[in-house]
Structure 1
Amino acid sequence: MSEISAEQVAHLANLARIALTDEEIQHLTTELGQIMQAVEKVSEVATPDVPPTSHPIPLRNVMRDDVVGDTVLTTEQALAGAPEHDDTRFVVSAILGEEQ
């Protein structure tokens, strides 16, 4: 089992240009050591016959195919709930101060 030292944490912090106090270095040394132990434990069971996976269950696309169909919604119905419209389309505020 490999261990991480306070000197290694201080060196990594220096490379990353992160100023750490002695207390933070000690705290991170402990935390990084625990992380390394967890990774080593996973590495023990990760054998070539166990495929790597990002999810415990297979993912699949649950969306339906996009099928063109007849529109049953009229323009008036579509605009009925709009806060602002000009009888043919929605009216919205300009974004980022740009006006058209």
Structure 2
Amino acid sequence: MALSEDDVLKIAKLAAIDVSTQDLTKLSAKLSNVLDLFAQLEQVNTDGVKPMAHPLDQVQRLRLDQAVEVVDCEKYQALAPACEQGLYLVPKVIE
């Protein structure tokens, strides 16, 4: 697919890119080549190909969900200005 220089200027404007008139012809050719590659990819038969998120069939190794640190809540809440039933009390900020 061949892009005209006007098409490239419109794309450059949408992308907020300043393209000089000297580079316009080169850029038009390069963008046309990219679009030609996409056209080739579009012709590939993908029937029966399963969509994938990663090219290798691997699973994530997960660790056991275990507590590794004991937090002394009473110690930390003793420093707080106001606590009640194990909860920190804060001023209401939404009216």
Seen in structure 2, the aligned counterparts of structure 1 residues 52 and 63 have a Cα distance that, compared at 3 Å, is same
- Aligned amino acid, residue 41 of structure 2: V
Aligned equivalents of 1:8, 1:23: Cα separation in 2: 16
Residues 6-25 of structure 1 mapped to structure 2, 5 A cutoff: 6-25=5-24
Aligned equivalents of 1:21, 1:41: Cα separation in 2: 30
What residue ranges of structure 2 are gaps of 5+ in the alignment? 71-95
What residue ranges of structure 1 are gaps of 5+ in the alignment? 72-100
- Structure 1 residue 12: Cα displacement: 1.5
Task: Deviation per CA, 1:34-86: give whole Å up to 9, x if none.
Answer: 21122112111143322343432134212322323689xxxxxxxxxxxxxxx
Number of aligned residues: 70
Counterpart residue number, 1:39: 38
Counterpart residue number, 2:49: 50
Superposition TM-score, scaled by structure 2 size: 0.53
What is the alpha-carbon root mean square deviation over aligned residues? 2.6
- Structure 1 residue 8: Cα displacement: 0.5
- Aligned amino acid, residue 36 of structure 2: Q
Which structure exhibits the higher relative contact order, with contacts defined as CA atoms closer than 8 Å and separated by 6 or more residues? 2
Aligned equivalents of 2:5, 2:17: Cα separation in 1: 14
- Aligned amino acid, residue 10 of structure 1: L
Superposition TM-score, scaled by structure 1 size: 0.52
